[in-house]
Chains A and B, each alone.
Chain A
Amino acid sequence: MAGKLKTILVAVVVPSILISGFTGCAPGIPKDALKLSETSLQDRQMQTRRYDGSSEADILSASAEVLQDLGFNIDESETKLGLLVCSKERDATEAAQVAASIAFAFLAIATGSSSSSLPIDKKQQIRASLVVKPGGEDNPGSYFVRITFQRTVWNTENQVSKIEGIRDPKIYQEFFDKLSKSIFLEANEI
Chain B
Amino acid sequence: MNLRYRHAMITLLLCCMLLMLPGCASTSKDRVLETTKSQVELRSFQTRAFDTTDREKMLRTIISTLQDLGFVIDKADSLIGLVSATKLDKYKLRITVTVRQRGNSQLLVRANAQYNLKAVEDPQPYQDFFSALEKGMFLTAHAVD
User: Which residues of A does B touch, CB under 8 Å?
Assistant: 1-2, 5, 8-9, 12-13, 15-17, 19-20, 23, 26, 28-31, 33-37, 40, 43-44, 47, 76, 78, 80-83, 85, 127-129, 131, 133, 146, 148-152, 163-165
Contacts and interface: CB of A to CB of B under 8 A. Distances in A.
30 contacts: A2-B5, A8-B13, A12-B13, A12-B16, A15-B20, A16-B16, A19-B20, A26-B116, A30-B91, A33-B87, A33-B93, A34-B132, A35-B132, A40-B68, A47-B67, A76-B75, A76-B76, A81-B63, A81-B76, A81-B78, A83-B63, A83-B73, A85-B75, A127-B86, A128-B72, A129-B74, A133-B63, A163-B90, A164-B89, A165-B70
Contacts of B142: none
Contacts of A127: 72, 86
B102 interface: no
A133 B88 contact: no
B21 to A, nearest CB: 10
Contacts of B68: 36, 40, 43-44
Contacts of B17: 12, 16
A44 B67 CA distance: 8
B69 A36 contact: yes
B74 A85 contact: yes
Interface string B91-109: 1110000000000000000
A31 B69 CA distance: 13
A29 B135 contact: no
A9 B132 contact: no
Interface stretch (B27-35, B38-46, B122-130): B122-130
Interface residues of B, number: 53
B19 A20 contact: yes
A31 B91 CA distance: 13
| Residue from A34, A85, A152 having most chain B Cβ neighbours under 10 A | A34
B135 to A, nearest CB: 7
Contacts of A34: 69, 113, 125-126, 128-129, 132
B12 interface: yes
Contacts of A47: 67
Given A13-B16, A31-B124, A33-B87, A23 B132 contact: no
B60 A19 contact: no
Contacts of A31: 124
